[in-house]
A = this chain, B = another copy of it.
Amino acid sequence: MQNKAITSRDVDFGKWYTDVVRAAKLANYSNVKGCITIEPNGYAIWERIQSVLDAKFKELGHKNVYMPVLIPENLMKKEGELINGFAPEVAWVTQGGEKELEERMCIRPTSETLFSDYYSSVVRSYKDLPMKYNQWCNVMRWEKETRPFLRSREFLWQEGHTIHATEAEAIEEVNQMLEVYKWFFEEYLAIPVITGKKTDKEKFAGAEYTLTVEALMYNGVCLQSGTSHYFGQKFSKAYDITFANKDNKLEHVYQTSWGVSTRMIGGLIMVHSDDAGLVLPPKIAPTQVVIIPIGNSSKVNYLVEKYSEELKGKYSITIDDSDKSPGFKFAEAEVNGIPVRIEIGERDLENDHITLVRRDTRERITVSKNCDIVAEVTNLLNTIQKDMYNRALARNNAYTFEAHNLDEVKKIMDVHPGFIKGMWCGSRECEDKMKEIKGLKSRCIVNDGKIDDKCIVCGRDAKDLVYWGIQY
């Protein structure tokens, strides 16, 4: 069923996306250009994301901290590549109160500089290492074109920053956090992802290398969804983060950072949702079950009460006993992406039945009113979670192509974008040539698999298998 407030996904994907954001009341445009207001329905998703990830980070020994939102220009500039990467897109504070500042400060676009400065002031000995800190905060990047959740001037994220005594340990951390992201995307968001290494062109400014989690949206466009950076000693040398090793000699630490953001909410929408609105995987849905009484008889009310008592504490449930019409309530539950809807109506009850409705497939399932409702709901939520992942995976597979030369690439892109697997010689030149085809960029270099000996662009010896795609 098409929600009237939502443009069809197949007619205009961009319009569909913003229509879903508005219709599901996830976010609203604000009068601050390029910034959004995250509304309760959107923020509740972010809280679910935070609670799962935060628990996992802590389980792995990370601790939360909070660094200042402002970075003095000089501090920002100590490491040269970072400032070059971010200078065009930071917001500068030049006045504090009624005075011009002697030194302008930018609103953090990312906090390597502040963490490095902090670490340099507190680390003394190898006994202090590793230090594995994370913060949940807002950051700002002065984007020209913005789109709710996907790209906005301000967004919310977490940024982990760790320092280690050895390169091996830091690299282990970078890999581990990439795996955490992959696990979270697949297990919770039901989004299958590709992981790999960014090319030098696409890596984070200042990193030795960047690992990335890449997802494919419904329309075949790619979304860089999380990154884990290895810095080696770049920042520790620029910011002088040293420690006395076991032999009492000074060494520079090895450093990492990793982050995911509210952009994930955009990914959730673009992978799973449909023309009736939001579709959320049960494990991340703020409300998992809505019970909708139809009519107001004592039989109906008794069951509403009974089921809600049984489900409460196990699942996040809500009862819609407002005076809106049943049809209106159904549509609202759908647009909001509540995974399971329980309809309890007098007509069904004449046959001792109630109806469960899956949001993802909109399948209606008739069950006995005497069923074990917890077992039914558990089973259904698990099935939905699994099915959503499998459908996304099937779509990823259907839109992952192999290409051996630019002609093949063009033909693919003329039909449907997606992940294009193609060998690469490693040259920046060939990477730039790919971009001429509808803006294709390297998503990541993957370790496994080799589909040709020759570079997809120049035909010379290939080094790596790369996933290519157009991006948000």
Contact = CB atoms under 8 A, between A and B. Distances in A.
A427 interface: no
Interface in A96-120: 96-98, 104-105, 107, 114, 117-118
Contact of A94 (B92, B122, B153): B92
Given A30-B68, A137-B138, 7 more contacts: A30-B67, A30-B114, A35-B69, A36-B68, A37-B114, A87-B98, A92-B95
Nearest to A86: B97
A117 B39 CA distance: 14
A72 interface: yes
Contacts of A88: 97-98
A36 B68 CA distance: 7
A140 B101 CA distance: 15
B91 A95 contact: yes
B95 A89 contact: no
Interface of A: 28, 30-32, 35-40, 43-44, 46-47, 63-72, 75, 87-98, 104-105, 107, 114, 117-118, 121-122, 133, 137-138, 140, 142, 153-154, 156
A156 B40 CA distance: 20
12 contacts: A28-B121, A32-B114, A37-B65, A40-B63, A40-B64, A40-B65, A46-B66, A70-B91, A91-B93, A91-B95, A91-B97, A95-B104
Closest 9 CB pairs of A and B: A35-B68, A40-B63, A92-B95, A38-B66, A97-B142, A32-B68, A96-B142, A94-B94, A91-B93
Contact of A64 (B47, B90, B153): B47
B31 A43 contact: no
Nearest to A90: B97
A32 B97 contact: no
A422 B142 CA distance: 53
Given A107-B107, A117-B30, A137-B138, A156 B92 contact: no
A46 B69 CA distance: 17
Contacts of A64: 40, 43-44, 47
B72 A31 contact: yes
Contacts of A97: 88-91, 142
Nearest to A67: B37
B65 A32 contact: no
Highest count of chain B CB atoms <10 Å: which of A28, A38, A66, A75: A66
A36 B93 CA distance: 18
